[in-house]
Structure 1
Amino acid sequence: MGVTALAAGCSTAVDGQVRPPAPDTAPSLASADPWVVFDGVEECAVLDLGLRPHQFPAARKETAGGSRGCIADKPRFGTAGIVLDALQGLDQVGSDPAALFDGKIHGRRMVLDRESLPSTTGDCAIYLEVSDTARVMINTALSRGTTDQACEFVQQVAAAVEPALPPVSPS
């Protein structure tokens, strides 16, 4: 499937390693318009692509996590979302370092966050690299289920949407 997740405890785990804390860095302002990296990307269509095999209804715009976000709800299963972020790269994922795991999906760098919603179970997020200062977050919160199940599901969605994302921009 092209997914290499380095998350201890996930059923797709491979030689997990805890990610060290990220250094405090500010987003780069190299471009006058950082959002140009996502030109031609429609976030709800990309999320729908990843959720289609799981029979989710169409995604809808949701800006609580960022101005370029979408969410879809499936009754008795849970929610899944996507956020395009042109202002933060993978090094700015702000979570408990013990819950972050580096890996790759189809050769693209990613960070899996096993505790995207602290003090809960059944949630997981993956951040996919677009550039040093841009990323895509795909997350899920299950109505019932474990963090391992959530991470397995979000890895499947991320693997399906990755080919629809812009190629990784050089720094």
Structure 2
Amino acid sequence: MTHKRFRRRGPIARRAQGGWGVMDLLLGLLIAIVLSAAGYAIYKTTTGTAKGNAESDALVQAVSAIQAKCQSAGSYGTNGYNLAQCLYRAQKVPAGWTAVSATVINNSYGQPVNMLSTGTGFTVSDPGLPQDACHDVAIGNLFNSSGTTLGINGGAAISGTVSDSNTSSCTSGNTNTLLYTFAY
């Protein structure tokens, strides 16, 4: 004997779902939006940091090349001499920076870096940095040595370790300038 209650057909029988329902689509859209936002946040964090690290590396390369290739008889040339010329001639333009001409080298952010002799020492002015790069490069203590100072956006020269509070003058936008001064 067959039980008819299990074979019931009629107006209350469920139809099989024929595709995506509205709730399925909304849930999928919500998941896609959340993943996109998370991916964008990770992208912004990693590229900002990577570019700041690249700028730090380029500064180290530039200073090392200037000290190795541009000093002669205890001098870097006359006061105001553009040391970009020396880097260009020695083919020591740092990775990530671009030689626009024999006298102009742009940083990772497309701004011209000023590298000038002070006679027995030199300065490197790195302009056009965004706030995060200004902070990261300054905090990096690239040149924490005797005779080296750092000025942020024209502020007082900092010698020794650079702290978070020292970088409070890094402003929003791509307008920050770091000025390194090397006494020798």
Larger strand percent: 1
- Fold shared per TM-score above 0.5: no
Larger helix percent: 2
Greater Rg by CA: 2
Of structures 1 and 2, the one scoring higher in RCO (CA 8 A, sep 6+) is 1
TM-score, normalisation: structure 1: 0.32
